[in-house]
Amino acid sequence: MLALAAVLPAAPAASRAQEPPTLRTTGYLQPRFQAVGDTAVFFLRRVRFAVEGNLAPWAFYRAQVEMRTAGAAATPARSPLTLSATDLFIRLSHDRWSGTVGQFRVPFSLEALLSSTALETTERSLVVFNAAPNRDIGVQLEWRVPDRLTLQASLVNGEGTNRATNPDNRMAYLGRAVVTPVKGWDVGGAVAAYADSTDWNLQTMLQRRRWKARAEYVRDRERRTDVRRTGWYVLGAYLLRPDRFQVVGRVEQFDPDDQVASDRETGYGLGTQYFIRGDNLKIMADYTVFREQVTQLSNDRFVVQMQARW
């Protein structure tokens, strides 16, 4: 908190009186049809509502909650819906600096930092979903040179989302750096040090008119067992019709335990996006074939999803 106070200015009382706080409501809805192997179901992938705004020109707040019908334990236990908090933070900014306090996306994986509404696929890659840190509670500092360099550092509890306690009384430390050698091309890396593990990340993204490409490599090492979880993905997307129709392809791989010689999984995915009103209203469809290292499973996935964002 001392670091935040050092880089953030004090706003005059008269200025605060002249600029009252603002409030905006945002959200999105993602109904989905999904078939995995020989099972199929309709459900709500995500429903999120948020309030956000400015308390001052240099102070931004956001509070977002999520409702789901699949993918997490119900709250309360017999309810068909899951209700949980996602973003709960205040961000203070000054010139090239910003500081965030609360619950937020930690600076690690590029794909995990992207909003679900902006993804080209209906699901994040296996390695990001299973091995990359996501949200946590703590404090973050960021220094940015627009279109040139971004540096981020976080100190968090290390317990994940919506955990109000820190049982081991040990913090997690995360850092991320991204450089832009030429306009449209980002290259970066990140590290996360937890009480019992260390995570590494390499990432890159390229955008050229109708083309987009993104790739990441993630490695997680458990210190006590020396077990390593590793994985990567390469994604490419092309706008066949600008602002209307996009095709997407992805190859991915995830190995949850390098000491087990039969658990590596590789996925080959092909999908489309049809933009009715950009990302605010669109239809997505993708099909992913999964190939296991030894025993093949009936787990190929087909998804059709609609998204409405406001």
Read off the pTM: 0.88
Distance CA 175, CA 104 (A): 14
pLDDT-derived band at 80 (thresholds 50, 70, 90) equals low
The pair of structure tokens assigned to 136 is 């946590």
Q: Is the peptide bond before 76 cis (omega within 30 degrees of 0)?
A: yes
Among 14-28, 109-123, 222-236, 291-305, the range scoring the smallest mean pLDDT is 14-28
- For 7, 33, 122, 275, 289, the CA distances from 271, given in Å and listed in that order, are 45, 14, 9, 13, 12
Q: Encode pLDDT of 31-50 as tens digits.
A: 999 999 999 999 889 999 99
Distance CA 96, CA 54 (A): 18
Rounded average pLDDT over 96-115: 97
Q: Encode pLDDT of 223-269 as tens digits.
A: 999 999 999 999 999 999 988 999 999 999 999 999 999 999 999 99
What does the pLDDT read at residue 1?
A: 42
What does the pLDDT read at residue 19?
A: 77
Q: Tell how strand 24-36 and strand 245-255 pair up.
A: unpaired
What does the pLDDT read at residue 8?
A: 47
Four-point Cα dihedral 149, 131, 170, 260, nearest 10:
-130
Amino acid symbol at 26: T
Q: What sign results for the dihedral spanned by CA atoms 25, 153, 257, 218?
A: positive
Of 288, 291, 292, 290, the closest CA to residue 302 belongs to: 288
Q: What sign results for the dihedral spanned by CA atoms 191, 192, 198, 204?
A: negative
Q: Tell how strand 97-105 and strand 135-145 pair up.
A: antiparallel
Distance CA 150, CA 190 (A): 12
Rounded average pLDDT over 93-103: 97
Task: Yes or no: say if 88 and 126 are a contact pair by the CB < 8 Å rule.
Answer: no
